Amino acid sequence: MGVMDWFKGIVQGGSAPTASAPKAAPAGEKSAEIAGLNFKTAIDAHMKWKVRLESYINGTSDEDLKVEVICRDDQCPLGKWIYDKGGEQFGYSETFVDVKAHHAHFHRCAGSVLETAQKGDKETALKLLRGGDYVKTSERVKMLLARMFIIASEGRAAVDTHIKWKSRLQSYVKGESAEMFDVDTVSRDDQCAVGQWIHGIGGERFGKSPAFLAVRDHHAHFHRCAGEVLGQVQKGDKDRALQMLESGAFAEASSNVVESIVVLFEEMAPST
């Protein structure tokens, strides 16, 4: 089984090898590393938290675990990556944002388990560890990391985040979405995930790159076009708005954003 199959198995509902079970490393282990993080190692280390906490609760561990440290999401290797190279490279990605949020919640759950154990209620601590929010959040982090690896390795994180705009706007125009949009906000290029990355970490890291500047300019134009689509909706011309989503300035601007992002990815990719 190759590395990509291993990750896709997790996303599709399979499971990574447990920390206590023997596991055969997928072929091409080194290929699991992107932007300074080996995603397979990260998933393995994440899943080992249950074993570490269980050993501590049962008194079979020599680790000196502290609640004030465990409950923080920036102390483990994955957390440090999230707040450093991960955010720098993938801060525009909705999946990355989900990874960050659920990883933070996971550590709060782990801290709660540890705090309960240190208060002397080992039975409740073990119940928390084996069910409820801890398990759900842990599995969610594992799945999101696998998904992040797949879309990042295929260079599609930013593209996937961007192209969701069309389906979001279509659902809104057709009255099928609970999302609320206004022209002023949508017309701005610094409100979406990609825009926040462009005007934040992305700009700090790649601001002098012509490829990055192309992404920035195409992205700004795209949002002006998206605002024009919403303007038609406000005028009551939904048919015209839907037509604009399929052809003309909006469609061209969206394609330009995708193409420029791909060029930027190619420039960012390390030479082999």
- Count the neighbouring beta carbons within 10 Å of the beta carbon of residue 125: 23
Lowest mean pLDDT segment, chosen from 15-19, 48-52, 251-255, 264-268: 15-19
12 is a domain residue: no
pLDDT digits (tens, 9 = 90+) for 128-174: 999 889 999 999 999 999 888 876 765 556 677 777 888 889 999 99
Q: What CATH code is carried by the domain that includes residue 170?
A: 1.20.120
The last residue of a domain, from among 153, 186, 207: 153
Distances (CA, A) of 211 to 121, 202, 223, 268: 57, 12, 19, 10
193 is a domain residue: yes
pLDDT digits (tens, 9 = 90+) for 70-92: 999 999 999 999 999 888 878 87
13 is a domain residue: no
Domain coverage including residue 163 = 157-268
30 is a domain residue: no
173 and 84 belong to one structural domain: no
Give the burial string for 220-249 (b: 16+ CB within 10 Å, else e). bbbbebbbbbbbbbeeeeeeebbebbeeee
User: pLDDT category, 6, cuts 50, 70, 90?
Assistant: confident
- Asked if residues 163 and 27 have their Cβ atoms less than 8 Å apart, the reply is no
The last residue of a domain, from among 131, 153, 175: 153
44 and 146 belong to one structural domain: yes
194 and 224 belong to one structural domain: yes
The domain total for the chain is 2
27 is a domain residue: no
Q: Is the pLDDT of residue 21 over 70?
A: no
14 is a domain residue: no
22 is a domain residue: no
140 and 210 belong to one structural domain: no
